[in-house]
Amino acid sequence: MNNITNVGRWIGASMLLSFAIGLYSNFKLQTDLFAGEGLLVNAAQHPYRIGLIALIGLSTSLLTLWAATLVSTHFRHRHPAITRYYFGLVVAALAISLIECSTLVAFRSLSEAYTAAGPQASELFLPARKLLTGLRNSIHFMDVLVGGTSVLVLFAFLFRARLVPRALAAVGIAAAAIQMYSVSRPLFGLPVVYPLLLPLALAYFTLLCWLLVKGFAEDANA
């Protein structure tokens, strides 16, 4: 076992942890906030949950950035362009994620003011609610689009460097392209096709499990 193998395992472990925590945040913590009467009412009732979501967003982005740093550190001499591009995309995703978390915290402040004003003033908050909702949704879809792009570039790098089975990397490239198509639709006023997100989730999870167990190939052209 060489150093490259261990690097692959560290990357797999950190990104798998980020993936698992992100799923919990997106499909449990955030789903509950949008249930029922919506975020304008629920945010004031769950201030700690919103803070937790913001911290999780920061933590998962930093974990992914650490993994991208490992990729750049160990492979930039043989693959300078693609590793730097991948690192730049991860940094951009971190910045967009922080903005998205900030809009969620802003919604908490709006919700607290809405609760304090009482039901008689509810109509006064509708313009601010629509503005923040549109802002949060647009930032969210930009976030997942940039995230999907970074995953596509990661799979492309792994394919080129032969660090994992090329069939797995090729499937990942195709799945990431499908995901990018689906999440970019709301930018043009079209709905997300949620079943099209599943292929990337499966391919990405398979990749991370492979890296955790096998690491990077020892005889790769890296």
Helix axes 47-75, 126-161, angle to 10 degrees: 20
pLDDT in tens, 112-153: 888 888 777 777 777 877 887 888 888 999 999 999 999 999
pTM of the model: 0.90
Residue 217: pLDDT over 90: no
Structure tokens at 137: 């949704």
| Residue 15 to residue 50: CA distance in whole angstroms | 23
Structure tokens at 153: 């570039």
Which residues are within 8 A (CB) of 124 and not within 5 positions of it... i.e. 6 or more apart?
117
pLDDT in tens, 98-115: 999 998 888 888 888 888
- Give the pLDDT mean for 177-197: 95
Residue whose entry in the numeric block shows the structure tokens 């079209």: 190
- Give the pLDDT mean for 1-23: 88
HSE at residue 57, side-chain half, CA atoms within 13 A, is: 26
- Give the pLDDT mean for 2-21: 91
pLDDT number for residue 1: 41
Residue 2: pLDDT over 70: no
pLDDT number for residue 21: 94
| Residue 111 to residue 134: CA distance in whole angstroms | 16
pLDDT number for residue 115: 84
Which letter, b or e, does each residue of 35-68 get, where b requires 16 or more Cβ atoms within 10 Å of its Cβ? eeeebbebbbebeebbeebbebbeebbebbbebb
- Binned at pLDDT 50, 70 and 90, residue 156 comes out as very high
pLDDT number for residue 222: 52
- Give the pLDDT mean for 83-90: 97
Residue 135: how many other CB atoms lie within 10 Å: 16
pLDDT in tens, 23-81: 999 888 888 787 777 787 788 888 899 999 999 999 999 999 999 999 999 999 999 99
Residue 221: pLDDT over 80: no
- Give the angle 108-26-158 at the CA atoms, nearest 5°: 135
> How is the chain split into domains, by residue range?
3-214
pLDDT number for residue 117: 81
Higher pLDDT, 37 or 88: 88
